[in-house]
Amino acid sequence: MAIRAWLKERVPVSGDDLRALTNEPVPKHLKRWWFCLGGTPAYLFVVQIITGILLAFNYQPSPSTAYESVRYITEEASFGWYLRSIHKWAATFMVAAVILHQMRVFFTGGYRKPRELNWVIGMFLLLCTLMVGFTGYSLVFEQLSYWGATVGGNITESVPLIGPFLKRMMLGGDAYNERTLSRFFILHAAILPTLMVLLLVIHVAFLRLHGVTEFEDPDEKDGDSKTFNFWPDHVMTELKIGLVLMILLSALATIFPAAMGPQADPLTTPEVIKPEWFFYVTFRWLKLFPGTAAVLSMGFIVFVMFLWPFIDGFIRRRRPKSEISVYVGIVAVLVIITLTVWEALVAH
């Protein structure tokens, strides 16, 4: 008791305060796993931070050492292969979960008034996730890493007005050079994760301020409680998902461990080269349209995605029954799937 009293004096937070902070009633529909897709990338983000910090102990970000250090992690360091494979698979899952979470929010209209700004924060988180994925596979210094960074730099350059400046800032020079990898490493391991933590705090704060969107549940009987407790019920759901993810990640890391591609060769672009799957859409888009047109159109699409809650709100103020967002969403999903599968199936 003495210790408890001592602690209570120094940490003046009561159990009631903690309960009030954590025990917000959660709508019943959150018992379904697909409504927990927002917690899934957050969980995976923690996995990435832990495995990433461990990998950084042995990673050396310079062209002359990067590939060898990744080889050391993969082939020599005890359980290095496991940590790197978990990091790689968790990245894949994280991107997939973020996209699915965004689709769920989109199709259930969870972005509508008054939650528009949280959608915008979510869009920033999506872009950060994609950038952290891009800078991540650039660090391995495989062929894909080098050419991905080169192409990424030149895409940046084709942005009107500020493109050349951004490219030089990104690569640390006019082209890929000795200082490029350390820039990518700082972005991947420090700047983007810090930014993501800040954005996540705002994202969750908005969620708590507005509460989770409530839906009418057709299976619900009259008199049923519409909510359940965050602690311990919802935390248990998240923990179950966490357990399933850990089993899945470990299984995939063991069966399909992260391999080493050929070392970067600035003089030879491989005959067949593809980015990670989550950039297949962009990659195919760049093949379909000339440089600046492709970049500007992609920028425009991202811009519309950012503003969609306001565009949708504008439409619904004029036509309250409009479900145009559903059709826009279906077309967008079909385009994404078509371009991704197309790119996956062909060599060029």
Partner 1 sequence: MSSSEAEAEADRRDFLGKITTGAMAVGLLASYGTFAGYAVRYLYPAGDIRTAWLFVTRTETLDLGGSLDFKTPGGAPVVVARKGPGETAGDFLALSSTCPHLGCQVHWEAQNNQFFCPCHNGTFDANGVGTGGPPKGQELLRYALRVTDGLLYIEVPIESITIAAGLARPGHDACLGSRGTV
**Residue numbers of the site for partner 1 (CB under 8 A)?**
63-65, 67-68, 147, 150-151, 153-155, 165, 168-169, 171-179, 263-273, 283, 286-287, 289-291, 294, 348
173 close to 215: Cβ distance less than 8 angstroms? no
Closest to 253 (Cα-Cα) out of 84, 95, 97, 93: 84
CB of 348 to partner 1, least distance (A): 5
CB of 60 to partner 1, least distance (A): 11
Residue nearer to partner 1 on the CB measure, 36 or 281: 281
CB of 51 to partner 1, least distance (A): 24
CB of 298 to partner 1, least distance (A): 13
Residue nearer to partner 1 on the CB measure, 153 or 309: 153
Distance CA(45)–CA(71), nearest Å, equals 24
Residue nearer to partner 1 on the CB measure, 38 or 80: 80
Please report the DSSP string for 174-229 in residue order.
SSS-TTHHHHHHHIIIIIHHHHHHHHHHHHHHHHHHH-PPP---TTPPTT--SEEE
Work out the end-to-end distance of the chain between its first and last CA atoms, rounded to an integer number of angstroms: 71
171 close to 149: Cβ distance less than 8 angstroms? yes
Would you state the structure tokens that stand for residue 45, as one six-digit string?
Answer: 């983000």
CB of 77 to partner 1, least distance (A): 18
Residue nearer to partner 1 on the CB measure, 217 or 265: 265
238 close to 37: Cβ distance less than 8 angstroms? no
Distance CA(144)–CA(152), nearest Å, equals 11
- Whether the CA torsion 81, 86, 89, 92 is positive or negative: it is negative
CB of 331 to partner 1, least distance (A): 24
Please report the DSSP string for 266-315 in residue order.
TT---SS----GGGHHHHHHHHHS-HHHHHHHHHHHHHHHHHHHHHHHHH
Residue nearer to partner 1 on the CB measure, 227 or 263: 263
Residue nearer to partner 1 on the CB measure, 86 or 149: 149
Residue nearer to partner 1 on the CB measure, 169 or 302: 169
CB of 91 to partner 1, least distance (A): 23
233 close to 36: Cβ distance less than 8 angstroms? no
